[in-house]
Structure 1
Amino acid sequence: MAWWQVLLGVVAGLVLLYAVLLGLLWGYARRHPETVTAREALRLLPDVVRLVKRLAGDGSLPRGVRVGLVLLLVYLASPVDLVPDVLPVIGYADDAVVVALVLRAVVRRAGPEALTRHWPGTPAGLDLVRRLAGLSAAGPA
């Protein structure tokens, strides 16, 4: 097998993997349309980043949760995304879905009170973050 055939196979595999990841993100967003709109998620971004930093620095949370939160911060800060941020609306939608998935994992492992304890924003913003994390505004879903 020639080197260019191997290279072509690797590139095709990466494109396929990328398409599968995008499909999974799109499917997740379609199954949970009631969670939080993209506009709401973007408005919350500064408070969510502060929340994630505070949660990552909380030594009382399980190490796996904190590692996941640090990886989320790296992903959000990275110029490389699943969908480039230069694309209007959809470019930030992947970030919102990844944040939602990580916050849901935090709530499952650390409990919803961790969100409340570290939330830096308004009560209305906390309600949106609770919805993003799969909780109702009043309590666990």
Structure 2
Amino acid sequence: MKDKLNKRFKIWFSMIKQKVKKVKKEIGALYLAYKRPDVPFYAKLVSVLVVGYALSPIDLIPDFIPVLGYLDDLIIIPLGINFAIKLIPSDIMNECRQQSENIFNEGKPKNWVAGCIIICIWIILFSYILIKII
């Protein structure tokens, strides 16, 4: 029984690991795609938002909040990636995927602009709540 559970856990863990690698590769491809001049403006805008959020050092919902903190990363980022990919022509996206193979080998770059935007959202929400309470 214990061996079966251990084997299932290893299989589940390897599947999660593969999905994380795929998301990482897709983020890299979107990062390259929004820099290309042949990508439509609206696709660039969505790509910038998705990549900015994924690489931001600050989350919209902080990770220390139980369940919700990690749930936003598990839902928002994949949905954003899928939406952005649908907006970019498939031949361009395939080229960007090939180029993104080793884009994060030196670690992921930090996007402090997106982090500042998220901090501003939190400040506005906090201020709004304070004004309503007082």
TM-score category by the smaller chain? 0.3 to 0.5
TM-score (norm 2): 0.47
Computing the radius of gyration from Cα coordinates, the structure with the larger value is 2
TM-score (norm 1): 0.45
Q: Which one scores higher on RCO, CA 8 angstroms, separation ≥ 6?
A: 2
